[in-house]
Structure 1
Amino acid sequence: MFVLLAAAVTGTATLLVPVLAGEPSRSPAAGGEIKNPTESPSFPLVTESTSATPSGETPSPEPTASEFEFSESPSPSPAIETTTPPEQYLGEIDEVAGDIYAAKLAVNGTTYPHAVYDSVSKCTSDGSAEYDLGRQWDRLTAMVGVSDDSSDGVVVQFEVIADGRNIATRKLKLGQEARLDLSVKGVLRLKLKTSYLQGGDTTRCTRTLAKGVWGDAKLITT
């Protein structure tokens, strides 16, 4: 509490003197005692409300742990299994090396709608293509031979190479064909190779053209 004391002489400064409650205050100007006031001024005690609930409303009880709803964690989706189809034509698989072409071609009078082939001649003596089997296949089947639109008298050699090892060789001329049914179980890299051996017009490359055909060549799982 502060008491305002005014000086007796005009123009002197006004002093604010702190006065402790319950103790008499002295006037520095008069030097006399000032009796305690008969009644100390009272101030209302203000307390901070601990609840934001408006007056007159009953506060809602706090929810207990048992009142909360818990949803179960979703079960993990089952893993998608990738399976190798029972069979697949080589013409539907991209080669990883070399060049080979897919087409419908005839060999010895039979048309193969899912054939793959390479063109060879005296100037382009051989062609090949490699496939990544991923050790997922068991057998390779095909009807091999020289296409019916090839030059007369040409002889073509067909080779199947599995992981660097030759597992089949056939030499065929126009009008001949041979069936292949080979095990490729556990093979990682498969290579098909066709080579020109002889025949046709050897004086000009453009007049000697042979297509080494792998008729409906496909991979099979058993």
Structure 2
Amino acid sequence: MTGAVGRGLVLVVEDERPIADLVRLYLSREGFGVQVEHDGAAGLVAARRLRPVVCILDIALPGMDGTEICRRMRADDDWTPVIFLTARDDEVDRILGLELGGDDYVTKPFSPRELVTRVKALLRRAAGPAGAERVRSLGPLTLDPGRRTAALQGRSLTLTATEFDLLAHLVGRPGRVFTREELLAAVWGYASHAGTRTVDVHVAQVRAKLGPAAVLIRTVRGVGYSADA
């Protein structure tokens, strides 16, 4: 384990040691503690034992791939934010990772500065707002941004940090139509046409968790999404 821990511990599971060392260096410079593991089984053990603030998981790992680590974490009700790293420029792999509960992904080769920026953005979202925000309601859905909780007809919903922020952004402005690019910039903190598929995947995941209330999120063909009661 290396680096100061003022910002918390980040778990990096990456079998390519030069990449792992570079990520460790950049995170340590920003005040994060860093634990590096080089295979999937060790990564899962570390995630369960150390309870990091963010997990950075390579998808292609020896023994157990990154998506399986994430799946097992979510099965344990561990919703630690997860960023996937992948060398596969294959949309199916990236979407699979997000559907298993990942919050973001980065395709190799990547900028370590960008990766650190994404880690910080995830932590800001997971921490919630600095001040109290009013509770938001839309039909049977209630969101409390201050407590980072969501409920549907009084029953708690389990959402990732990204799913919560996406839903809160839509519900906070009912009736307004947001383009995918606007949502990507507002929720993920960056804008890229190539990343707009990420928005679609997360919207699908949120709708799946809303069940019959999925109709609250409306698709505006050729434009984007809005939340309507």
Do these two structures clear the TM 0.5 threshold for a shared fold by scoring above it? no
Rg larger for? 1
TM-score by length of 1: 0.22
Larger RCO: 1 or 2 (CA < 8 Å, sep 6+): 1
Question: Which one has the bigger helix percentage?
Answer: 2
Question: Which one has the bigger strand percentage?
Answer: 1
